[in-house]
A and B are shown apart, each in its own frame.
Chain A
Amino acid sequence: METVTQGATDAQTGSAPTRHAALDALMRAAQAGDERAYRALLEEVALRMRRLVCARAPWLGRADVEDIVQDILLALHSARATWDPARPFMPWIAGIARNRLADHARRYVRRQAFDEAAQDLAEVFSTTPGQTHAEGVVNLMSVRRAMDGLTSGERDAFELVRLRQMSLAEAATKRGSTVGAMKVAVHRATLKLRAAVGRDGKE
């Protein structure tokens, strides 16, 4: 009991090696059937993954983020026998997370395949150099950086219309704005993003 509590604390607040060793210990206990250790591990993984997804895909809504986090937890659960206790836990969970994130990213692109937005996204991601497609899709850092260059109105409009697939009228109602203003904001945001990411790609 004591060790589990200590392990859970170490997993959150210890130094990097302690943290990793604590996760290894929790996972080892979880494989042995220790429910408390397993719960602590799942909570810790959920926390980290939520932080990671929010950082990489700031345009995702809360529900979408939780969807991805839950998917990673489920994958961890069903694959838990594939972890070799002689090896570190971090690369193992990273492998699972990368896989689930890539699948989700694919889904997002696909969902928008029939929309202009897909073209924008594909363009944005294909200009990220030196990565496989899936990793490029997952790694939204350059998009995020580019998003920082937008005004808040432009960012809002782009997120609602292009990423969440609302119609201009819906987005306008939601923001208390007009269709025309939304249209202009989305257009400006698209131009700015394209310019910013294009610059990134050439670096």
Chain B
Amino acid sequence: MRTEDLIDRLARDGGPVRPLEAPVRRVLVWLAVALGFAAAMVWAIGPRPDLAERLTEARFLYEQSAALATAAAAAAAALALTLPDASRLWRFLPVIPGAAWLGTLGLGCFRDWARMGPDGLRLTPDPECFFYIALIGSLPLLVLVLMLRRGAPLRPSWTLGLAALAAAAIGNFALRLFHMEDAALMVLVWQVGAVALIAGIAALAGRAILRWPGLPA
């Protein structure tokens, strides 16, 4: 096709478009949807009986805030990466809350060990974590992908990887509210491990899911 013909076609196809809303607003909208879905799931599965007690524990609150902050930061980064004039450094935003998250859990491992000895670091299989995190993260991820597709697929692997990190972190946040597992090493390996795995798989699928559209019909 000649370039002039393409320009002609695009110009005729180019009706009015509404510019995307500010990234902060979009993150907040996504968080509201994701947390709403997570809350419904926790309610459906049934919150853990000792939840009230956990909510008074500083360590539990730290871990949960770090997970939530990681989710928000990853979602913001994913959305920013679909804007052509946004800095590419956005992708590193979740590093800060992510490090805080891993840090609190790492510190928790030491505490468990100091308190209970080798028993505190026992690692038993807990595969249902992965299932629940994926289940609760599914709708938030779907919603975020739909939001991302309104942007430009400039860095698809990073974008989808960060989006999945955000959704899975929400899944983990919710999981802790009904799943009775607080041993730091168990949380670190099975839950944060599941989150990382999901983000990694999504990053590999990025190019297949976020693509530049072809010619308008």
The distance in angstroms between the C-alpha atoms of A173 and B7, with both chains bound, is: 37
The distance in angstroms between the C-alpha atoms of A38 and B11, with both chains bound, is: 6
Q: Is A171 an interface residue (CB 8 A)?
A: no
Q: Is A176 an interface residue (CB 8 A)?
A: no
Q: Tell me whether B7 and A96 are in contact (CB under 8 A).
A: no
Overall SS of chain B's interface: loop
Chain B residue at minimum C-beta to C-beta distance from A45: B7
Q: Which of B45-53, B81-89, B136-144, B163-171 is near enough to bind chain A?
A: B81-89
Known: A70-B1, A82-B82. A77 touches B13 (CB 8 A): yes
Q: Is B120 an interface residue (CB 8 A)?
A: no
Q: Which of B15-23, B181-189, B192-200 is near enough to bind chain A?
A: B15-23
Q: Tell me whether A95 and B19 are in contact (CB under 8 A).
A: no
Chain B residue at minimum C-beta to C-beta distance from A97: B84
Q: Is B121 an interface residue (CB 8 A)?
A: no
Q: Tell me whether A92 and B6 are in contact (CB under 8 A).
A: no
Q: Tell me whether A81 and B11 are in contact (CB under 8 A).
A: no
14 contacts between A and B (CB under 8 A): A70-B3, A73-B3, A73-B6, A73-B7, A74-B214, A74-B215, A75-B152, A77-B14, A79-B152, A80-B17, A81-B19, A84-B85, A92-B84, A92-B85
| Chain A residues within an 8 Å CB radius of B17 | 31, 33, 80-81
Please give the residue numbers on chain B whose beta carbons come within 8 Å of chain A beta carbons, in ascending order.
1-3, 6-8, 10-20, 82-86, 150-152, 154-155, 212-216
Closest 8 CB pairs of A and B: A33-B16, A95-B84, A79-B152, A39-B11, A92-B85, A81-B17, A91-B85, A42-B7
Q: Is A78 an interface residue (CB 8 A)?
A: yes
Number of chain A residues whose Cβ lies closer than 8 Å to a Cβ of chain B: 34
Q: Is A138 an interface residue (CB 8 A)?
A: no
Minimum C-beta distance from B95 to chain A (A): 19
Please give the residue numbers on chain A whose beta carbons come within 8 Å of chain B beta carbons, in ascending order.
30-33, 35, 38-39, 42-43, 46, 50, 66, 69-70, 73-75, 77-85, 87, 91-96, 99
Overall SS of chain A's interface: helix
Known: A82-B20, A82-B84, A96-B84. A73 touches B10 (CB 8 A): yes
Minimum C-beta distance from A38 to chain B (A): 5
Q: Tell me whether B16 and A31 are in contact (CB under 8 A).
A: yes
| Chain B residues within an 8 Å CB radius of A74 | 6, 10, 212-215
Minimum C-beta distance from B212 to chain A (A): 6
New A-B contacts (17) at CB < 8 Å, excluding given A66-B3, A91-B85: A30-B14, A32-B16, A39-B7, A39-B8, A70-B1, A73-B3, A74-B213, A79-B84, A80-B14, A81-B150, A82-B84, A84-B85, A87-B85, A95-B83, A96-B154, A99-B84, A99-B154
Contacting residue for B15 out of A33, A79, A82, CB 8 A: A33
